[in-house]
Amino acid sequence: MDHAVGNNHGHVQHGVALLSDSVRNKGTAFTSKERREYGLEGLLPPSVDSLDRQTERVMKHLDAKPNDLERYIYLIGLLDRNETLFYHTLMFDPARFMPIVYDPTVADACLAFGHIYRRARGMYITRDMKGRIGEVLRNWPERDVRFICVSTGGRILGLGDIGANGMGIPIGKLQLYTACAAVPPACLLPVLFDVGTTNAALRADPLYLGLREPPPSENELDELVEEFVQAVQQVFPNCCIHFEDWKGTDAIRLLSRYASKVLCYNDDIQGTASVVLAGLTTALQIIDAKLTDQRVLFLGAGSAGIGIANLVVAAMQMQGLSQQEARSRISLFDVDGLLEPSRKDLSESQHVYAHNAAPSKDLVTTIETFKPTVLIGVSTKGGAFNQQVVEAMSRLNERPIIFAISNPTDKAECSAEQAYAWSNGKALFAAGVQFPDVTINGRTLHPGQANNFYIFPAIGLATYAARPRRITDECFIVAAEATAEQVGPELRAKGMLFPSQADILATEVTTASRVAEFMFDKGLAQVDRPRDIRAWIEGQLYRPQY
């Protein structure tokens, strides 16, 4: 059926109803013939625009906005009116728009979510739906849902528990599946799993849209999640569950429970780990060093830190170390100091990294004792990598590898300018947000952005195409290697540890092709292996055109 007229149920739409359908609306791009045929004459100005001309108009609107939050609000409004034009705009200049529809602007959007709310996108699952979650999921109009991005809003970026305001994250994440890797938007479903919030200020805000009650016990939460996971298997049998921004202990527990049982992954744990491993791989290629020779110190021992540590251990094991040898090369330091055996507050997943060492609450002392080659910040503690920390790393290493992953910007452990200045330009640096270029000693350095958008859309595209039974940690190691391989010598010379964002789609398709190939090799895929995997994947890409 024609793009313009068929809706989900095959009815022919006319007139205002067609203009109100964001998926099929072309706005001023409807031709004269289409306007006559579908009862649109007189409902639109007479000029017929091309998609490019419409995009030009959108750009002028965006340029006139005073800040990125207003641009975010405008773009979400555009998505409500015309999905094709929205994605055409994003994919026209992804490097410009990713920071607006996602991090860091989405943090502001989430904080203001109840105040800037226009219309529902996705689904809200609440505690009082217990026993009926499957029935509720059937209210979604699309039957072939391939990805659900689900969050409780329990640990959003560096913002903490913001409850139902966290819905901005699943919406933004799934938009990047399409904008970065051309996964068709119709198969994506954002879900906010509203179990209440610990945030008393939000519960008191009259414009807050979520449940005004504290979260349930762990047991009750686990029962709700179990019902949700099983309901997804029934209602959307080809669906991958992407867990996003759950409280750290919940995130680790639920991933270990479901990773081997259903098609799922946790982006905060596995996606973050994969993108850090990609940056680390590039940094080690620049200095011609082996991963198995590195000593890695983390500031932050939550789900992201543990997830990165576990994936680095798995990668070291693939390169010949035993699990014990690999773990001995990794140490973690959190708000209560170094993880070591005398600590009585460690979780099971933290305990494996508590090596014999004297207790320490001083990061510089720990650096001098442990002698790390790599320092990774996942603490959400802005400025934690101060001058003494960076100088200590620089004394120990000719080229210290320093990653300040926490975001948004004010949560970064240090800025690119600080890392380069305090290391006299020696640091190989990446952050979770994009810092501007820095000129030092006559050289202009371009800091890397260790952002998951290099990884999870590619994993999503490989999963969309190959339909694997499961997504394993090895898939994320392959994605990291494929990402690192795309950083050419000229980018490395500028200090870049990740591919350029300007051609993100080609980068993601390359990574997705490698991951899909691995899925076929390991017997994970549930479709027949094509002769040319890349061409086969390219044939399935969403293209925003009328």
Q: In angstroms, what CA-CA distances link 394 with 2, 369, 380, 421, 442?
A: 62, 14, 23, 11, 20
Which pLDDT does position 428 carry in this prediction? 97
Show the domains of the chain with their CATH numbers.
1-49 (1.20.1370.30), 88-262 (3.40.50.10380), 267-546 (3.40.50.720)
How buried is residue 538: exposed, middle or buried, by Cβ count under 10 Å (0-12/13-18/19+)? middle
Cα separation of 114 and 263, whole Å? 32
Which amino acid belongs to residue 105? T
Residue 173 known to be catalytic = yes
DSSP 22: T
CB 511 within 8 A of CB 453: no
Which pLDDT does position 156 carry in this prediction? 67
Cα separation of 446 and 365, whole Å? 30
Which pLDDT does position 8 carry in this prediction? 46
Residue 411 known to be catalytic = no
- State the CB neighbour count (10 A cutoff) for residue 245: 26
pLDDT digit string, tens, across residues 365-402: 999 999 999 999 999 999 999 999 999 999 999 999 99
Which pLDDT does position 259 carry in this prediction? 97
Which pLDDT does position 239 carry in this prediction? 98
Residues whose CB falls within 8 Å of the CB of residue 182, separated by 6 or more in sequence, listed in order = 91, 461, 505, 508, 509, 541, 542, 543
Q: Which residues of the chain are under the pLDDT cut of 50?
A: 1-9
Q: Which of 38, 72, 87, 102 is catalytic?
A: 102
Q: Which of 26, 72, 173, 208 is catalytic?
A: 173
The rounded Cα 408 to chain-centroid distance in angstroms is 13
Which pLDDT does position 157 carry in this prediction? 62
CB 402 within 8 A of CB 375: yes
pLDDT digit string, tens, across residues 105-117: 888 888 888 888 8
Strand order from edge to edge, sheet including 240-243: 123-126, 188-194, 147-151, 240-243, 264-266
